[in-house]
Amino acid sequence: MNAVHISVMREEVLDGLHIEPGKKYIDATVGAGGHAVEIVKRGGIVLGIDTDPTAVRIATTELEKTGVTGWKVIQGNFRDIEQIAKKEGFERVRGVLFDLGVSSMQLDTPERGFSYRFTDAPLDLRMNQLQGESSAQLVNRASRETLYDIFSTYGEEQLAGRLADAVCSARSVKRIETVGDIVSILEQLVPDEHARFSVLSRIFQALRIAVNEEMDALREGLHGARELLEPGGYLVVISFHSLEDRIVKLFMRESAWQVITKHPEVPTPGERISNRRSRSAKLRIAVKKSI
C-alpha cells in the first residue's frame, strides 16, 4: 500500500485554528498526520486521535519525522474525545479539528473494502476492523426496511427501495461477502456504467456511515469538544456529506458559539483539481464564547 494522503484544505484549517506556540490542540481524526504535523511545526502541542490502528501508526511515524516533541497519538473513537483528552492531560485546549473524510490509505487498501474498485475485497468498511460488525454482516442480517433507510438517508439514493429489494433477493440465494457481490447486484439494477459508478459511490458511503455509526459519533464528539475548549478556543470541522454538514451547522448555532464561517468554506478550484477527494469538502469554524 503506497497511497499518499493529501490533507484537505490544509492552509484554511491552520488559519482557522489560529495556532499559538505552546497552546494545546486536538486533531480528533488524525489520519495520516498531515494536519497534526503542520500544527506541531508551528509550535502547537497536539493530541491526535484516530479509531483506525493503521492511521495511528502512520501518524506517529510522520510526527516523529518532525523531530519536534510535545505531541501524542492515541487510538480511540472521537465520540469519546472528552474522556480521552482528560486522560492525556488535554482537559483545556485552544483548538479542536475534525476532518471527517476517509483517508487515501483507507480507500486504496483493498482489504479494507472502502472502494468498489477492488471487487475481490471483503465488504468491510469499518474504520477499526477489530470492532463492530462489517458491512457484509450488516447487509446479510438487516431487514429490508433498515437497508432502505440506510441507502436513502446516508446515501441519499433514489434507487434505495429497489436496491434494498435486490440485496434481499441476492442474499437469499448466496451470502453477500465481497465488494464484488454488491457490484454485481448493481450491474443488474443499473446497466449504464457511468450511472452505476455514481450509485456505487453513494451506497458505499451509506454502508460506511452505518457500520461506523458516524452521525451519532459526530454529535457526541462535537459536544465533547465544546467541553474541552477554553473560552476563545476554535472549533474547525471539515465535512464531506450533507448530513454531517447539517449536524455541524446546527451545533454551531448553539449559544455557546460565535460562528466565523456564516457559509462554509470550500476548496479552491486548484485544490479540487489536484486533489479530487477534496471536491465535496465543506469547512466550518466557530469560536467558543466567554461566559
Taking residue 278's Cβ as centre, other Cβ atoms within 10 Å add up to: 20
Q: Are 133 and 112 in contact (CB under 8 A)?
A: no
Confidence band (pLDDT; 50, 70, 90) for 275? confident
The pLDDT value recorded for residue 105 is 63
Confidence band (pLDDT; 50, 70, 90) for 108? low
Q: Are 100 and 29 in contact (CB under 8 A)?
A: yes
**Measured between alpha carbons, how far is 137 from 205 in angstroms, rounded to an integer?**
16
pLDDT at residue 257 greater than cutoff 60: yes
Q: Are 96 and 26 in contact (CB under 8 A)?
A: yes
The pLDDT value recorded for residue 117 is 83
Q: What is the DSSP string of 21-79?
A: TT-EEEETT-TTSHHHHHHHHTT-EEEEEES-HHHHHHHHHHHHHTT--SEEEEE--GG
**3 state DSSP class of 94:** strand
Q: Please give the DSSP secondary-structure letter assigned to residue 13.
A: H
Q: Are 97 and 233 in contact (CB under 8 A)?
A: no
**179-189 vs 160-173: helix crossing angle, rounded to 10:** 120
pLDDT at residue 104 greater than cutoff 90: no
Phi, psi of 252 (to 5 degrees): -75, -10
Phi, psi of 275 (to 5 degrees): -135, 90
The pLDDT value recorded for residue 252 is 98
Q: Are strands 93-99 and 229-239 parallel, antiparallel or unpaired?
A: parallel
- CA angle (174, 179, 183) in 5-degree steps: 80
Q: Which domains does the chain have, with CATH numbers?
A: 10-105+214-288 (3.40.50.150), 128-211 (1.10.150.170)
Q: Are 226 and 244 in contact (CB under 8 A)?
A: no
**Measured between alpha carbons, how far is 152 from 274 in angstroms, rounded to an integer?**
31
- CA angle (202, 277, 179) in 5-degree steps: 40
65, amino acid identity: K
pLDDT at residue 159 greater than cutoff 80: yes
Q: Please give the DSSP secondary-structure letter assigned to residue 214.
A: H
pLDDT in tens, 30-73: 999 999 999 999 999 999 999 999 999 999 999 999 999 989 99
Q: Which helix (H) or strand (E) holds 236?
A: strand 229-239
Lowest mean pLDDT among 60-69, 100-109, 186-195: 100-109
Q: Determine what percent of the chain falls in helix, strand and coil, rounding each to the nearest 5.
A: 50, 15, 35
pLDDT at residue 180 greater than cutoff 60: yes
